[in-house]
């Protein structure tokens, strides 16, 4: 990061610190203190800002100490022993200064993402028929193994199987610290190149699946009137599951009138449970829809950044004959596909995070 970008970044952080101090001042205002709703809102904002402000203020103290030490070094009147001590202190402060600056860079570009500790992941088979469904299942199992390694909690909300044991689609909720920071880059088109289980001639086929990762914030500022804004259709679930599935109208289909967003849920035998799951997914999708609109101007200025989650964008190829995984967004080839399919996504995620961090910093300070 250039000195110019560092200066602009620190100026931005100073602006955040000034805003934080202004909010503290508001808390001392009797008018605010007598308004519980306003007080709670300010306290919540202070809590979020503190993650940036506290380390920034500590950084400023270290920077001040470093500047004072450098002044001692520039003072020709100091004796040799004093200059030696100052040089040692300056080296230690420089190391501390640089480490804290890197932490601040990381914090400011991931601050919003750090709030999200729950996501809904949707994996769907694309072109390729039965092989695409088998690939969808493989991706699902890959993410399950990754989540197990990282201690993330996974719940299957809905899934639809294929005749050969694959998955046409699966919808999961994944919870845990930093979950969106880790899995937020997985949204998009995933392509596989391999000899399918159904191929008798040993020819390599290309199939595809799509992945969406939708943030599920604790507080979704979207209110839906389920009676007037959503159409609900009830039907028999169909498919495997025994007599109950075929005789009881438990499947739920919800349509959000304003956006046309549709959710189908038939995983549970209980109509009540299917409705609750469908509403949860619909709420997340509607939130994501309006957030996308809200961020349209920002996204147009950040087209080069990764993690857009656009399903039409091919983000990754899994080439089994070469044991190669290629992430097309950053031009990364890893010849460890066997480990990646076992859930070892760490190298991929680190590379994506590093690239995204630099892109965001440049956009943030532009």
- Determine the pLDDT at residue 129: 87
- Determine the pLDDT at residue 215: 83
Q: Are residues 29 and 166 in the same domain?
A: no
- Helix (H/G/I), strand (E/B), else coil: 314: strand
* C-alpha–C-alpha distance, residues 108 and 1, integer Å: 14
Q: Are residues 7 and 109 in the same domain?
A: yes
Domain boundary among 68, 98, 114: 114
Q: Are residues 136 and 215 in the same domain?
A: yes
CATH for 271: 3.30.160.20
Q: Nearest CA to 185 among 11, 13, 361, 359?
A: 359
* C-alpha–C-alpha distance, residues 46 and 271, integer Å: 42
By DSSP bridging, strand 324-327 and strand 118-125 are unpaired
Specify burial of residue 350 (Cβ count, 10 A radius: 0-12, 13-18, 19+): exposed
* C-alpha–C-alpha distance, residues 122 and 140, integer Å: 9
By DSSP bridging, strand 314-319 and strand 188-194 are parallel
Q: Are residues 283 and 322 in the same domain?
A: no
* C-alpha–C-alpha distance, residues 356 and 177, integer Å: 19
Question: Is residue 300 assigned to a domain?
Answer: no
Question: Is residue 299 assigned to a domain?
Answer: no
Domain of 192 in residue numbering reads as 118-220+307-364
CATH for 172: 3.30.70.1660
Domain boundary among 86, 114, 142: 114
* C-alpha–C-alpha distance, residues 148 and 153, integer Å: 8
* C-alpha–C-alpha distance, residues 172 and 144, integer Å: 10
Q: Are residues 26 and 106 in the same domain?
A: yes
List the beta bridge partners of residue 314.
Answer: 189
Cα–Cα–Cα angle for 295, 297, 299, nearest 5°?
A: 65
Q: Are residues 214 and 319 in the same domain?
A: yes
Alpha helices by DSSP H, the chain: 3-27, 30-33, 36-74, 80-114, 129-150, 179-183, 243-247, 271-294, 296-300, 337-340, 346-364
Domain boundary among 65, 94, 114: 114
Q: Are residues 24 and 110 in the same domain?
A: yes
Spell out the per-residue pLDDT of the chain, length 366, in tens. 457 778 888 888 999 999 999 998 888 888 888 888 888 888 888 888 888 899 999 999 999 999 888 888 887 777 788 888 888 898 999 999 999 988 888 888 776 676 788 899 999 999 888 899 999 999 999 999 999 999 999 999 888 888 888 999 999 999 998 899 899 999 999 999 998 876 777 788 899 999 999 887 565 567 788 999 999 998 876 544 444 444 567 889 999 998 999 999 887 778 888 998 898 888 888 888 877 776 664 444 344 445 444 556 789 999 999 999 999 999 999 999 999 999 999 999 999 988 888 887 777 655
Q: Are residues 204 and 313 in the same domain?
A: yes
* C-alpha–C-alpha distance, residues 224 and 12, integer Å: 36
Q: Are residues 168 and 214 in the same domain?
A: yes
Contact at 8 Å (CB) between 107 and 52? yes
* C-alpha–C-alpha distance, residues 8 and 364, integer Å: 9
Question: Is residue 127 assigned to a domain?
Answer: yes
Question: Is residue 80 assigned to a domain?
Answer: yes
Question: Is residue 256 assigned to a domain?
Answer: yes
Q: Are residues 74 and 17 in the same domain?
A: yes
Contact at 8 Å (CB) between 320 and 329? no
Cα–Cα–Cα angle for 338, 197, 192, nearest 5°?
A: 50
- Determine the pLDDT at residue 291: 73
- Helix (H/G/I), strand (E/B), else coil: 166: coil
Q: Are residues 154 and 241 in the same domain?
A: no
Question: Is residue 170 assigned to a domain?
Answer: yes
The number of folded domains in the chain is 3
Classify residue 329 by its DSSP letter. Answer: T
Question: Is residue 78 assigned to a domain?
Answer: yes
List Cα–Cα distances, 285 to 168, 218, 230, 234, 322, in angstroms: 20, 14, 13, 20, 37
Q: Are residues 131 and 77 in the same domain?
A: no
Question: Is residue 297 assigned to a domain?
Answer: no
- Determine the pLDDT at residue 238: 58
């Amino acid at each position: 990061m250039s000195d110019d970008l560092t200066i602009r970044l620190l100026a931005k952080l100073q602006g955040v610190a000034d805003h934080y101090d202004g909010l503290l001042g508001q808390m001392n205002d009797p008018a605010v203190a007598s308004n519980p709703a306003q007080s709670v809102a300010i306290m919540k904002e202070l809590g979020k800002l503190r993650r940036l402000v506290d380390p920034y203020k500590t950084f400023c103290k270290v920077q001040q100490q470093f500047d004072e030490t450098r002044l001692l070094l520039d003072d020709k009147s100091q004796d040799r022993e004093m200059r030696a001590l100052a040089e040692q202190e300056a080296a230690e402060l420089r190391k501390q200064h640089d480490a804290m600056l890197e932490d601040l860079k990381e914090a400011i570009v991931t601050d919003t993402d750090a709030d999200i500790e729950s996501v809904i992941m949707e994996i769907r088979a694309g072109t390729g028929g039965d092989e695409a469904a088998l690939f969808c299942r493989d991706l699902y199992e890959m993410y399950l193994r990754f989540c197990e390694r990282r201690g993330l909690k996974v719940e299957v909300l809905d899934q639809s199987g294929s005749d050969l044991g694959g998955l046409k689609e699966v919808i999961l909720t994944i919870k845990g610290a930093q979950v969106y920071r880790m899995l937020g880059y997985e949204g998009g088109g995933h392509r596989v190149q391999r000899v399918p289980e159904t191929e008798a001639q040993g020819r390599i086929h290309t199939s595809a699946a799509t992945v969406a990762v939708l943030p599920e914030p604790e507080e979704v500022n979207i209110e839906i009137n389920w009676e007037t804004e959503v159409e609900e259709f009830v039907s028999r679930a169909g498919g495997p599951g025994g007599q109950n599935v075929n005789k009881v109208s438990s499947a739920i289909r919800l349509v959000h009138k304003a956006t046309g967003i549709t959710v189908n849920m038939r995983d549970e035998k209980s109509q009540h449970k299917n409705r609750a799951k469908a509403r949860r997914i619909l709420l997340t999708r509607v939130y994501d829809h309006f957030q996308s609109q809200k961020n349209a101007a920002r996204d147009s200025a950040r087209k080069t950044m990764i993690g857009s989650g656009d399903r039409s964008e091919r983000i990754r190829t899994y080439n089994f004959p070469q044991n190669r995984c290629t992430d097309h967004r950053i031009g990364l080839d890893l010849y460890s596909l066997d480990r990646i399919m076992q859930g070892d996504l760490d190298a991929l995620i680190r590379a994506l995070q590093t690239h995204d961090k630099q892109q965001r910093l440049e956009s943030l300070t532009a």
